[in-house]
Structure 1
Amino acid sequence: MKGFIERYLLIILMICAFSLEGQTSKAEKEALKDIYDQTSGEQWDIPWDLTKSETTWQGVVIENGQVVALHLHKNGLEGKIPSSIKNLKNLRVLNMAFNKLNGEIPAELFALTKLKSIRLEMNSLTGGLPESFVSAKSLEELSLFNNQLEGTIPNGIGDAETLRILNLSSNYLEGKLPKSIAQLKNLESLELFGNKLSGAIDVELGELQNLKELVLSYNQFEGNLPQSTASLANLEFVQLQGNNFRSIRSLQNLRTEGLATFDSDDEFLNIQFGKENRSKTRMATNTFEDSKD
């Protein structure tokens, strides 16, 4: 009889544990509901049923009772990202790309110390790039292209040393490229296409030895491209056209077996492509004026 009771109690405990598995804390559940309410959840393409467990909500990934990812891209979100998102303290991935989000990016977002990937591209976000993003010590990917962001790139961007992918293309960012970008030793992709960035590039781009994609096209950069750029042996994709560079001849000595695409305004620049994935260099007739020195 005693053995039967012990087995019965064990089964009850297992059932209780199973029913609680995936359940989040009250603070996390309230944060999820706030995101839903503030972004017109009832109008989403795939809305949540708030009468059911959050484990059933589309795009919410829960591990050990903690929200670790939100995959809400292309789901008709409209409105502002609430500051209560800071209560998702174990969030590693946030993807709200391809929606109709507006307003400013909440600075509280970058206080999430476990966050590795932020994808908010193809929205209507405004305001500046929060200074707090440089303190996001685990952040590997920040994709904000095609929004309406203004202001400058924070000078302390070099402190975001875990960044691998930075895409700020198609916004209204202005000013010079911060020198501290050279501190991003893990950076593999730097995409700044279609902003209003200007001035000479004083960044030692050669320090970014893991860089595979360099996209600076259609800005207002001028002067000469740093000589150290030619040492980037892992480059695969380069776009520089649509600027006011005086010379990019420093790239004449660029040697990388992986180079597949190179776009510039200098039709006389002879860049060596890799043996595989060979691509014809595309030229854009714009404002390039080569120096004679």
Structure 2
Amino acid sequence: MQKRFYLVLVLICISTTLFAGVSKKEREILIDFYKSTQGENWMINWDFSKPVSTWHGIEVKNGKVVSLSLFNNNLGGTLPFSLGKLRHLEVLNLAFNHIGGTIPENIVRLKELKVLRLGKNHFTGTIPEAIGNLSNLEVLDMFDNMLSGEIPKGLGELKKVKWLYLSNNEFRGSLPGELGNMESLERLELSGNHIKGGIPEDMAKLKNLNTLVLSENEFTGKLPKGILSLPQLAQLQLQHNFLDTFDLGDIHTMSEHLALFDFDGNGQDYKKRDFKRFSLNMEEIRTADTKFEDMDD
């Protein structure tokens, strides 16, 4: 009897070591993810004979998977629906891979998520309409995919987001004024889409904004004057739109932090103007200094 007790105890210890406290359900979800994204072709893949906590890109805390970070790891295929069941996930970084298909609608159930990076993949379809449910999100990166439809108004509910990257997609329609409610927003990049209409006046409410890139779209009308005086704004790029000619008389309203202002304004030549706190060279500074490197999230 005593020998049998010790045998059971040893088996329990081995099981605990192998699965590192991660539940069978979460382990199965990860295996599903591995298969769906063609894990056999990854640059660094997973050894299922070892504890989950040792798998590349996985972080486990208190027996729960909190980070899935596989930046630039040659992932392909599509994202499985089961991914939305990793309810303790705080970081999902799959940027710079080859994942296609649509973004699973139930990804909005990941209520603990702080970082969602899907940039530089081949995603199609739309951003989930209920994206505003991710109330803890701080970084949202979906740049350089094939996403379409309109920018969802629900983004305005993301009060903690600091970086929002949606450039180089196929977004259409108008820019929702609700984005002006993203009170923590520091970087907003929407270049290379097909967004039409005017730039909402509510954008002037973004007091923490330091980078605004709206270039290469189809915006029309006037630039709201309040944007020029945003207290932290350092980079503003509006070139290659259909905006009205900028009134040079508004230069005095510009924030003292503004270092880059790129606006083609129907041929108006700004290189001849003394901007005091900043200088422009339209041939050298057409591209935003977007932070796309892998981050220690």
Q: Which residue of 2 aligns with 1:252?
A: 251
> How many corresponding residue pairs?
269
Q: Could you tell me how far apart the structure 1 residues matched to 2:72 and 2:163 are?
A: 21
Q: Which residue of 2 aligns with 1:36?
A: 34
Q: Secondary structure at the match of 2:30?
A: helix
Cα–Cα, structure 1 residues 240 and 144, in superposed 2: closer, same or farther, change >3 Å?
same
Q: Which residue of 1 aligns with 2:105?
A: 107
Q: Does 1:236 align with 2:238?
A: no
Cα–Cα, structure 1 residues 228 and 78, in superposed 2: closer, same or farther, change >3 Å?
same
Match of 2:116 among 93, 114, 118: 118
Q: Which residue of 1 aligns with 2:187?
A: 189
| TM-score normalised over the length of structure 2 | 0.84
Cα–Cα, structure 1 residues 264 and 59, in superposed 2: closer, same or farther, change >3 Å?
same
Q: Which residue of 1 aligns with 2:263?
A: 264
Contact 2:156 2:179 in 1 (8 A): yes
Contact 1:111 1:132 in 2 (8 A): no
Cα–Cα, structure 1 residues 221 and 53, in superposed 2: closer, same or farther, change >3 Å?
same
Q: Could you tell me how far apart the structure 1 residues matched to 2:198 and 2:139 are?
A: 26
Deviates further, 154-163 or 249-258: 249-258
**Aligned-pair Cα RMSD in Å:** 2.4
Contact 1:259 1:273 in 2 (8 A): no
- 1:142-157 mapped onto 2 (5 Å cutoff): 142-157=140-155
- 1:11-90 mapped onto 2 (5 Å cutoff): 19=17, 22-90=20-88
Match of 2:217 among 198, 219, 237: 219
Cα–Cα, structure 1 residues 46 and 271, in superposed 2: closer, same or farther, change >3 Å?
farther
Q: Secondary structure at the match of 2:244?
A: strand
Q: Which residue of 1 aligns with 2:291?
A: none
- 1:121-200 mapped onto 2 (5 Å cutoff): 121-200=119-198
Q: Secondary structure at the match of 2:168?
A: coil
Contact 2:18 2:50 in 1 (8 A): no
Q: Could you tell me how far apart the structure 1 residues matched to 2:16 and 2:22 are?
A: 13
| TM-score normalised over the length of structure 1 | 0.85
Q: Could you tell me how far apart the structure 2 residues matched to 1:163 and 1:74 are?
A: 23
Gaps of 5+ in 2: 1-9, 284-297
Q: Secondary structure at the match of 2:257?
A: coil
Cα–Cα, structure 1 residues 17 and 32, in superposed 2: closer, same or farther, change >3 Å?
closer
Q: Which has the higher strand share?
A: 1
Gaps of 5+ in 1: 1-11, 285-293
> Shift in Å at residue 87 of structure 1?
1.8
